[in-house]
Structure 1
Amino acid sequence: MQAQRYSYTAITLHWLLALLLAFQIALGQTLEGSNSPELFTRYQLHKSVGIAILLLSLARLAVRLATPRPPASEGPAWTRTLASIVHWLFYLVLILGPITGWLLVSTAKIQVPTLIFGVIPWPHLPVGHGWHEPAEAIHGVLARLAIALFALHIVGALRHQWLLGKPELQRMIPFARDKAVVAAIGALALIIGAFTVGKLVSPDRSRPTAEKRITPVVPASSAAPVVPAATEAEETPTAETVETTDASQPIADWTVASGGRLGFTARWNGEAVDGRFSRWRAAIRFSPDELAKSTISVTVDLASADTGDGQRDDSLRSSDFFDAGAHPNAVFTARDIRHLGGERYEARGTLDLRGASKPATLRFTLRIEGDRARVAGTARIDRTAFGVGQGEWAATDAIAAGVDIAFSFDATRPAS
């Protein structure tokens, strides 16, 4: 029998969908366990692949309806009816599956923005939360149905090819006109490979770390608990490495030089997540000899939070975390600055964050050489005290309450 082939457009869309569906089924089976950066990234990839499947399925359906296709294989009426049912159920699963997933994301209590493959923003559907549970139930049923249809489709194609002697594979596999066995083995290998990649892919680990993690040097006598936090890959001055400076220094207004860094480290399911704020400013009036008159004020633009993952950064800006739309800035103000000995200082004050004002303390080392100063320090805050983390993120089993801050910068004062 001479095979009547599908168009190359139909063949291309068919195999793209087959590989993506195999990958998506396997990836979906890994979306379990405690919240973690890796699980978060897997969900983002799952959403991206789902939208890709939706768009490709709509294109495949348009091709199916608009272009001629080979006639159905001969056989009993019940087999032709069953084949037709399987094909249309596939369209249902490939279109309705991603749509119900889209509904789940759009109606979730925690609104996480979607970026398709980390690049293209994808909007939420304008529907109420009442859609969430029905969408979740239907999505689960469609996932199981997809697995059954996938297996049935493969078995049916092989049955037609070898038990019934009908050249089904040559109709849909490129370059398989006279090599059905080789083509079948190659196609199955691709499907198994896509499934295996979906099981093993670890997008969070495969992405290069955006920041180097360097442990800041903290004075040994510091009582505040600190853990390693991200700093610039440059040496931090300590009391042991700083030379004594001129003790007679009048109070002055210091200007922070460009190139400073304000970083933070949170622990998500035991894994450190490092980030930084790219926009912040400081008003510093300081003299080591006039600490009672010295003041420090730091204003941080919360929308500038950068962890190296655009979707995670959007989540930080949302109402579940910083709520940067309603509270764009965090402000630390210190008027109680104490000398701890050597080049070590402590600044006590208040932190205004997300509409809450709480006491906060930071410790820092200071080196002054002429009219130039080098500062580096650390602090720890309790995110839950400021309501950073709403809903399921308010608990501390996934994201720890303590967040470590590390900063370093140069500053200058008017020449004396």
Structure 2
Amino acid sequence: MPAQRYSYTAIALHWLIALLLAFQIALGWALEGNNSPELFARYQLHKSIGITILLLSLARLAVRFILPRPPASDGPAWTRTLAGIVHGLFYLVMILGPLTGWLLVSTARVQVPTLLYGIVPWPHLPVGRSWHEPAESIHGAMAWIAIGLFLLHIAGALRHQWLLGKPELQRMIPFARGKAVGAAIGALALVAGAFAVGQTIYPERSRTVVEKTMPVPTAEPVAPPAAPAASVAMDAEAPVEDVAKAAPEDTGEPLADWTVAPSGHLGFTARWNGEAVNGSFDRWRAAIRFSRDHLAESNIRVTVDLASADTGDGQRDDSLKGSDFFNVTARPNAVFTARDVRHLGGDRYEARGTLDLRGASKPATVRFTLRIDGDKARVAGTARIDRTAFGVGQGEWAATDAIAAAVDVDFSFSATRPAS
């Protein structure tokens, strides 16, 4: 006897793909607006759903040839031909849509790594940039074709069910062996719900930024320099006379090399369409020779492993390592060196020096508080740099309308010196 219902495997794949397609079409329409954390998150989810649809569609195609399925419905030749065309086009859309999206990602000028659902790395296709425009045109058309196919498919199923009196829906809708009215309404509601969720999962002003717990900079920032070529020392200079008045009393403190504890924090905050994106560097080291009584002989050198940048989003972190931002392959480290350390009064100090980042070397100033208790010290401070002065952000990311030029840096750590 021929099968009267599709297999449970075929039914499960059919409805899972249908819901994902409805969700994906709606999400695709939301891929507009200014570059922002929300838009970035939408793109990452869109890519993940697309690859999922591709894999499930290939599985569904295999099941179609392996497992038995019900015979085609009776009817005029033109209806059977149309049904075959609709099914064939559905497979084309379900496979070609994700493939062209994959081509778009692989040939984009700004290469953003793909990490499915933030977990599974997915490679780029080894194709040239010339594939980009054709893939973009085909990919955009796939959504409209899918919508048309949805309507034709639903209309055909309802026609067979109620106009021709043939139990089409019972063959594919789970638990619809009897009357299919309730099941049909439920199925349509699920598809409509998936479409609605796709439009609202990342609303335009939702705050989807991953903000890691970190100290908030306490120093009042000073406006960045007007031109990138200018000094990127972001703190205003203290008047010379004020620095002289603030000179600390002689404490008899010798010049010493301080050892920084590994629990220190080095963080940064960028502004993306006005929203804070916080991150930190997991690997950095500092060589500090310092004495409050010998500031002229004190010096600081901090080396930061740029590949250790962590913003809480693996795909964004991989983008930061790329040639458009830190370019860690060519310049793996950023280095801050300072030989001009000044006392500003009380426990406040500043270190004036140079920041080497991405092959550019610019003046930079760091302000910090220092509390020394015996041979132990606690340091916390802030700075602000202009990323454009170092070429951090190439191409479309060089503009400051989406990602602000100013990036705030904050740090805190404990240190010890040899016992005196």
1:2-401 to structure 2, matched below 5 A, reads 4-202=4-202, 209-212=210-213, 214-218=215-219, 247-401=251-405
What residue in structure 1 maps to residue 229 of structure 2? none
Equivalent-residue separation in structure 2 for 1:185 and 1:213 (angstroms): 49
Root mean square deviation of aligned Cα: 2.0
**3-state DSSP of counterpart to 1:350:** strand
Equivalent-residue separation in structure 1 for 2:216 and 2:370 (angstroms): 18
| Amino acid in structure 2 at the alignment position of 1:216 | P
Cα-to-partner distance string for 1:263-322 (whole Å, 9 max, x where unaligned): 000000110000000110000000111111000000000011000111111111111111
Q: Is the 8 A contact 2:22 2:194 kept in 1?
A: yes
TM-score (norm 2): 0.91
Indicate how the Cα distance of structure 1 residues 136 and 224 shifts in structure 2: closer, same or farther if over 3 A, else same: closer
Equivalent-residue separation in structure 2 for 1:162 and 1:346 (angstroms): 81
Q: 341-350 or 291-300, which moves further after superposition?
A: 341-350
Q: Where does the alignment leave 5 or more consecutive residues of structure 2 unmatched?
A: 226-247
| Amino acid in structure 2 at the alignment position of 1:142 | M
Cα-to-partner distance string for 1:186-224 (whole Å, 9 max, x where unaligned): 111111111111111139968684513543322x7x867
What residue in structure 2 maps to residue 229 of structure 1? none
Q: Is the 8 A contact 1:3 1:170 kept in 2?
A: no
Among 400, 406, 413, the alignment partner of 1:409 is 413
Q: Is the 8 A contact 1:257 1:409 kept in 2?
A: yes
Aligned length: 396
Cα-to-partner distance string for 1:48-83 (whole Å, 9 max, x where unaligned): 000000000001111112222211111111111001
Equivalent-residue separation in structure 1 for 2:223 and 2:167 (angstroms): 75
| Amino acid in structure 1 at the alignment position of 2:373 | E
| Amino acid in structure 1 at the alignment position of 2:213 | K
What residue in structure 2 maps to residue 233 of structure 1? none
Structure 1 residue 361: Cα displacement: 0.8
**3-state DSSP of counterpart to 1:104:** helix
Q: 48-57 or 143-152, which moves further after superposition?
A: 143-152
Q: Is the 8 A contact 2:210 2:278 kept in 1?
A: no
Q: 279-288 or 200-209, which moves further after superposition?
A: 200-209
Equivalent-residue separation in structure 2 for 1:3 and 1:205 (angstroms): 49
Equivalent-residue separation in structure 1 for 2:417 and 2:208 (angstroms): 41
